[in-house]
Structure 1
Protein backbone atom coordinates (compact mmCIF):
# COMPACT_ATOMS: atom_id res chain seq x y z
CA UNK A 1 0.00 0.00 0.00
CA UNK A 2 1.22 3.48 -0.86
CA UNK A 3 -0.24 5.93 1.66
CA UNK A 4 0.38 8.84 -0.68
CA UNK A 5 -1.78 7.45 -3.48
CA UNK A 6 -4.04 4.82 -1.87
CA UNK A 7 -5.15 6.74 1.23
CA UNK A 8 -7.56 9.66 0.91
CA UNK A 9 -8.70 11.93 3.74
CA UNK A 10 -11.93 13.87 3.53
CA UNK A 11 -14.34 15.63 5.84
CA UNK A 12 -17.52 13.69 6.45
CA UNK A 13 -20.75 15.24 5.26
CA UNK A 14 -23.57 16.14 7.64
CA UNK A 15 -25.78 13.46 6.09
CA UNK A 16 -23.19 10.73 6.70
CA UNK A 17 -23.11 8.54 9.76
CA UNK A 18 -20.17 9.25 12.07
CA UNK A 19 -17.83 6.21 12.35
CA UNK A 20 -18.60 5.71 16.07
CA UNK A 21 -17.09 2.21 16.22
CA UNK A 22 -13.77 3.67 15.12
CA UNK A 23 -13.98 6.69 17.43
CA UNK A 24 -14.67 4.50 20.45
CA UNK A 25 -11.44 2.60 19.77
CA UNK A 26 -9.62 5.74 20.91
CA UNK A 27 -12.21 6.94 23.44
CA UNK A 28 -14.37 4.20 24.98
CA UNK A 29 -17.07 6.63 26.15
CA UNK A 30 -19.65 7.24 23.44
CA UNK A 31 -21.04 10.03 25.62
CA UNK A 32 -17.65 11.81 25.64
CA UNK A 33 -17.31 11.32 21.88
CA UNK A 34 -20.77 12.80 21.27
CA UNK A 35 -19.88 15.83 23.44
CA UNK A 36 -16.96 16.88 21.25
CA UNK A 37 -18.43 15.76 17.92
CA UNK A 38 -21.12 18.41 18.29
CA UNK A 39 -18.53 21.21 18.15
CA UNK A 40 -15.98 19.71 15.79
CA UNK A 41 -15.10 18.61 12.28
CA UNK A 42 -14.70 14.92 11.51
CA UNK A 43 -12.33 13.60 8.84
CA UNK A 44 -12.11 10.03 7.60
CA UNK A 45 -9.24 8.22 5.92
CA UNK A 46 -10.32 5.83 3.18
CA UNK A 47 -8.60 3.17 1.13
CA UNK A 48 -10.61 2.01 -1.89
CA UNK A 49 -13.79 3.38 -0.28
CA UNK A 50 -13.24 1.64 3.07
CA UNK A 51 -12.97 3.87 6.14
CA UNK A 52 -9.72 2.90 7.86
CA UNK A 53 -9.13 5.90 10.10
CA UNK A 54 -10.71 9.01 11.56
CA UNK A 55 -9.89 12.18 13.43
CA UNK A 56 -12.02 14.82 15.07
CA UNK A 57 -10.79 18.38 15.62
CA UNK A 58 -12.35 21.56 16.91
CA UNK A 59 -11.45 25.11 17.77
CA UNK A 60 -10.75 25.87 21.42
CA UNK A 61 -9.74 29.51 20.81
CA UNK A 62 -9.23 31.76 17.80
CA UNK A 63 -5.58 30.65 17.59
CA UNK A 64 -5.80 27.07 18.89
CA UNK A 65 -7.33 23.87 17.56
CA UNK A 66 -7.58 20.55 19.39
CA UNK A 67 -7.55 17.05 17.99
CA UNK A 68 -10.09 15.37 20.24
CA UNK A 69 -9.89 11.90 18.77
CA UNK A 70 -7.74 10.01 16.29
CA UNK A 71 -8.19 6.32 15.56
CA UNK A 72 -7.19 3.69 13.02
CA UNK A 73 -9.09 0.49 12.32
CA UNK A 74 -7.30 -2.33 14.14
CA UNK A 75 -6.50 -4.31 10.98
CA UNK A 76 -4.76 -1.23 9.52
CA UNK A 77 -2.76 -0.19 12.58
CA UNK A 78 1.03 -0.13 12.37
CA UNK A 79 1.05 1.03 8.73
CA UNK A 80 1.57 4.76 9.26
CA UNK A 81 -2.07 5.76 8.88
CA UNK A 82 -2.23 7.37 12.33
CA UNK A 83 0.79 9.51 11.52
CA UNK A 84 -0.73 10.41 8.15
CA UNK A 85 -3.98 11.49 9.86
CA UNK A 86 -2.09 13.51 12.45
CA UNK A 87 0.00 15.26 9.80
CA UNK A 88 -3.16 16.01 7.82
CA UNK A 89 -4.58 17.81 10.85
CA UNK A 90 -1.37 19.72 11.51
CA UNK A 91 -1.10 20.81 7.86
CA UNK A 92 -4.80 21.58 7.48
CA UNK A 93 -4.98 23.82 10.53
CA UNK A 94 -1.64 25.51 9.85
CA UNK A 95 -2.99 26.52 6.43
CA UNK A 96 -6.20 27.72 8.12
CA UNK A 97 -4.14 30.17 10.19
CA UNK A 98 -4.11 28.54 13.60
CA UNK A 99 -0.97 29.06 15.71
CA UNK A 100 -1.22 26.04 18.03
CA UNK A 101 -2.65 22.53 17.95
CA UNK A 102 -3.27 20.50 21.09
CA UNK A 103 -4.00 16.87 21.80
CA UNK A 104 -4.59 14.85 24.95
CA UNK A 105 -4.04 11.21 25.71
CA UNK A 106 -3.88 8.86 28.66
CA UNK A 107 -0.84 8.21 30.78
CA UNK A 108 -1.04 4.59 29.62
CA UNK A 109 -1.09 5.41 25.88
CA UNK A 110 2.58 4.72 25.27
CA UNK A 111 2.36 4.34 21.48
CA UNK A 112 0.33 7.53 21.08
CA UNK A 113 2.72 9.52 23.28
CA UNK A 114 5.62 8.38 21.10
CA UNK A 115 3.77 9.18 17.85
CA UNK A 116 2.72 12.66 18.94
CA UNK A 117 6.27 13.56 19.96
CA UNK A 118 7.72 12.20 16.71
CA UNK A 119 5.40 14.53 14.80
CA UNK A 120 6.49 17.56 16.83
CA UNK A 121 4.15 17.74 19.80
CA UNK A 122 5.65 18.51 23.21
CA UNK A 123 4.24 17.58 26.58
CA UNK A 124 2.58 20.58 28.19
CA UNK A 125 0.82 19.45 31.34
CA UNK A 126 -0.86 16.60 33.19
CA UNK A 127 -4.48 16.62 34.30
CA UNK A 128 -4.46 14.25 37.30
CA UNK A 129 -7.34 11.78 37.57
CA UNK A 130 -9.02 12.99 34.36
CA UNK A 131 -10.02 9.49 33.30
CA UNK A 132 -11.01 8.29 36.78
CA UNK A 133 -13.17 11.41 37.25
CA UNK A 134 -14.80 11.45 33.79
CA UNK A 135 -15.26 7.79 32.84
CA UNK A 136 -17.53 5.27 34.50
CA UNK A 137 -15.21 2.29 34.15
CA UNK A 138 -11.48 1.91 34.59
CA UNK A 139 -9.42 1.92 31.40
CA UNK A 140 -6.30 -0.24 31.11
CA UNK A 141 -3.75 -0.04 28.27
CA UNK A 142 -0.41 -1.75 28.09
CA UNK A 143 -1.09 -3.21 31.55
CA UNK A 144 -1.29 0.34 33.00
CA UNK A 145 -4.32 1.92 34.66
CA UNK A 146 -5.22 5.01 32.61
CA UNK A 147 -5.89 7.69 35.20
CA UNK A 148 -4.27 10.94 34.09
CA UNK A 149 -4.50 12.92 30.86
CA UNK A 150 -1.24 14.02 29.26
CA UNK A 151 -1.72 17.24 27.27
CA UNK A 152 0.62 17.96 24.36
CA UNK A 153 0.99 21.03 22.13
CA UNK A 154 2.53 21.74 18.75
CA UNK A 155 3.35 25.21 17.42
CA UNK A 156 2.03 25.61 13.89
Structure 2
Protein backbone atom coordinates (compact mmCIF):
# COMPACT_ATOMS: atom_id res chain seq x y z
CA UNK A 1 0.00 0.00 0.00
CA UNK A 2 1.22 3.46 -0.91
CA UNK A 3 -0.11 6.97 -0.19
CA UNK A 4 0.76 9.70 -2.66
CA UNK A 5 -0.36 13.20 -3.49
CA UNK A 6 -2.23 13.94 -6.70
CA UNK A 7 -1.28 17.27 -8.25
CA UNK A 8 -2.94 17.10 -11.67
CA UNK A 9 -6.04 15.50 -13.20
CA UNK A 10 -7.88 15.28 -9.88
CA UNK A 11 -11.15 14.76 -11.75
CA UNK A 12 -9.81 11.36 -12.86
CA UNK A 13 -10.92 10.23 -9.39
CA UNK A 14 -14.43 11.69 -9.68
CA UNK A 15 -16.20 8.32 -9.46
CA UNK A 16 -14.58 7.68 -6.10
CA UNK A 17 -15.11 11.26 -4.86
CA UNK A 18 -18.81 10.96 -5.69
CA UNK A 19 -19.12 8.10 -3.19
CA UNK A 20 -18.53 10.61 -0.38
CA UNK A 21 -20.07 13.72 -1.91
CA UNK A 22 -22.71 12.85 -4.44
CA UNK A 23 -23.04 16.24 -6.17
CA UNK A 24 -20.26 17.18 -8.58
CA UNK A 25 -20.86 20.92 -8.25
CA UNK A 26 -20.16 20.65 -4.51
CA UNK A 27 -16.92 18.76 -5.19
CA UNK A 28 -15.92 21.51 -7.62
CA UNK A 29 -16.06 24.02 -4.74
CA UNK A 30 -13.06 22.46 -2.98
CA UNK A 31 -11.28 20.12 -5.39
CA UNK A 32 -8.81 22.55 -6.94
CA UNK A 33 -8.05 24.49 -3.76
CA UNK A 34 -7.56 21.28 -1.80
CA UNK A 35 -4.71 18.81 -1.69
CA UNK A 36 -5.63 15.32 -2.86
CA UNK A 37 -4.08 12.10 -1.65
CA UNK A 38 -4.67 8.54 -2.85
CA UNK A 39 -4.02 5.22 -1.20
CA UNK A 40 -3.12 2.61 -3.80
CA UNK A 41 -2.42 -1.10 -3.80
CA UNK A 42 -0.36 -1.77 -6.90
CA UNK A 43 -2.37 -0.30 -9.77
CA UNK A 44 -5.66 -0.22 -7.79
CA UNK A 45 -6.91 2.97 -6.18
CA UNK A 46 -8.15 1.99 -2.74
CA UNK A 47 -9.08 5.37 -1.21
CA UNK A 48 -8.95 9.07 -1.94
CA UNK A 49 -9.06 12.18 0.26
CA UNK A 50 -9.15 15.95 -0.30
CA UNK A 51 -7.93 18.29 2.45
CA UNK A 52 -8.18 22.09 2.46
CA UNK A 53 -6.20 24.64 4.44
CA UNK A 54 -8.75 26.72 6.33
CA UNK A 55 -6.11 29.06 7.77
CA UNK A 56 -4.54 29.64 11.18
CA UNK A 57 -3.41 26.01 11.52
CA UNK A 58 -6.78 24.44 10.73
CA UNK A 59 -7.16 21.83 7.99
CA UNK A 60 -10.39 20.21 6.83
CA UNK A 61 -11.08 16.84 5.26
CA UNK A 62 -13.57 17.77 2.55
CA UNK A 63 -13.89 14.33 1.00
CA UNK A 64 -12.69 10.86 1.89
CA UNK A 65 -13.88 7.76 0.10
CA UNK A 66 -12.83 4.14 -0.07
CA UNK A 67 -13.63 1.97 -3.08
CA UNK A 68 -16.46 -0.45 -2.22
CA UNK A 69 -14.29 -3.58 -2.53
CA UNK A 70 -11.86 -2.19 0.05
CA UNK A 71 -14.30 -0.75 2.59
CA UNK A 72 -14.30 -1.79 6.27
CA UNK A 73 -10.70 -2.98 6.14
CA UNK A 74 -9.01 -0.02 7.86
CA UNK A 75 -7.92 1.84 4.73
CA UNK A 76 -9.87 5.02 5.48
CA UNK A 77 -8.44 5.18 8.99
CA UNK A 78 -4.96 4.55 7.64
CA UNK A 79 -5.36 7.47 5.24
CA UNK A 80 -6.67 9.77 7.98
CA UNK A 81 -3.81 8.80 10.31
CA UNK A 82 -1.33 9.61 7.53
CA UNK A 83 -2.97 12.98 6.84
CA UNK A 84 -3.01 13.98 10.50
CA UNK A 85 0.72 13.26 10.71
CA UNK A 86 1.34 15.06 7.40
CA UNK A 87 -0.46 18.26 8.46
CA UNK A 88 0.81 18.21 12.05
CA UNK A 89 3.95 20.11 11.06
CA UNK A 90 1.93 23.16 9.92
CA UNK A 91 -1.30 22.86 11.86
CA UNK A 92 -3.01 22.14 15.13
CA UNK A 93 -6.52 20.98 14.17
CA UNK A 94 -8.10 18.68 11.60
CA UNK A 95 -11.82 19.19 10.95
CA UNK A 96 -14.26 17.04 9.08
CA UNK A 97 -17.85 17.84 8.18
CA UNK A 98 -20.34 15.05 7.61
CA UNK A 99 -24.00 14.24 7.74
CA UNK A 100 -25.53 13.10 11.01
CA UNK A 101 -25.28 9.49 9.92
CA UNK A 102 -24.92 6.26 11.89
CA UNK A 103 -22.32 5.20 9.30
CA UNK A 104 -19.98 8.17 9.27
CA UNK A 105 -20.03 9.62 12.81
CA UNK A 106 -18.78 6.40 14.50
CA UNK A 107 -16.05 6.04 11.85
CA UNK A 108 -14.67 9.51 12.59
CA UNK A 109 -14.95 8.97 16.34
CA UNK A 110 -12.93 5.75 15.89
CA UNK A 111 -10.31 7.90 14.12
CA UNK A 112 -10.08 10.18 17.19
CA UNK A 113 -12.44 12.99 16.18
CA UNK A 114 -14.89 14.55 18.64
CA UNK A 115 -17.97 16.70 18.13
CA UNK A 116 -17.28 20.37 17.39
CA UNK A 117 -20.42 22.04 16.02
CA UNK A 118 -23.15 21.75 13.42
CA UNK A 119 -24.49 23.83 10.55
CA UNK A 120 -28.29 23.52 10.47
CA UNK A 121 -29.92 22.66 7.14
CA UNK A 122 -26.60 22.54 5.26
CA UNK A 123 -27.61 19.64 3.04
CA UNK A 124 -31.10 20.90 2.30
CA UNK A 125 -29.80 24.37 1.39
CA UNK A 126 -26.72 23.39 -0.63
CA UNK A 127 -27.70 20.25 -2.55
CA UNK A 128 -30.15 20.06 -5.42
CA UNK A 129 -31.62 16.78 -4.17
CA UNK A 130 -32.23 15.03 -0.83
CA UNK A 131 -29.16 13.29 0.58
CA UNK A 132 -30.05 9.98 2.20
CA UNK A 133 -27.50 7.79 3.95
CA UNK A 134 -28.36 4.44 5.52
CA UNK A 135 -32.05 5.29 5.17
CA UNK A 136 -31.73 8.64 6.96
CA UNK A 137 -32.38 12.04 5.35
CA UNK A 138 -29.38 14.25 6.07
CA UNK A 139 -30.13 17.88 6.89
CA UNK A 140 -27.41 19.30 9.19
CA UNK A 141 -23.66 19.26 8.60
CA UNK A 142 -21.97 17.90 11.73
CA UNK A 143 -18.39 19.05 12.28
CA UNK A 144 -15.92 16.97 14.23
CA UNK A 145 -12.39 17.97 15.20
CA UNK A 146 -9.16 16.28 16.07
CA UNK A 147 -6.12 17.93 17.59
CA UNK A 148 -2.97 17.38 15.59
Question: TM-score if structure 2 supplies the norm length?
Answer: 0.95
Shift of 1:18: 3.4
Counting only pairs closer than 5 Å after superposition, residues 1-156 of structure 1 correspond to structure 2 as 7-15=1-9, 17-94=11-88, 96-108=89-101, 110-156=102-148
Deviations 1:73-120 (A, max 9, x none): 0111111111111111111111x3201110000012x22211211221
Deviation, structure 1 residue 13: 2.9
Distance 1:62 1:147, change over 3 A: same
**Structure 2 portions without partners, runs of 5+:** none
> Runs (4+) of structure 1 moved beyond 6 Å?
none
Aligned length: 148
Distance 2:10 2:121 in 1: 35
The structural deviation recorded for 1:16 is 6.0
RMSD value, Cα: 1.2
> How far apart, in 1, do the equivalents of 2:11 and 2:96 lie?
24
TM-score, normalised with respect to structure 1:
0.90
SS at match of 1:25: helix
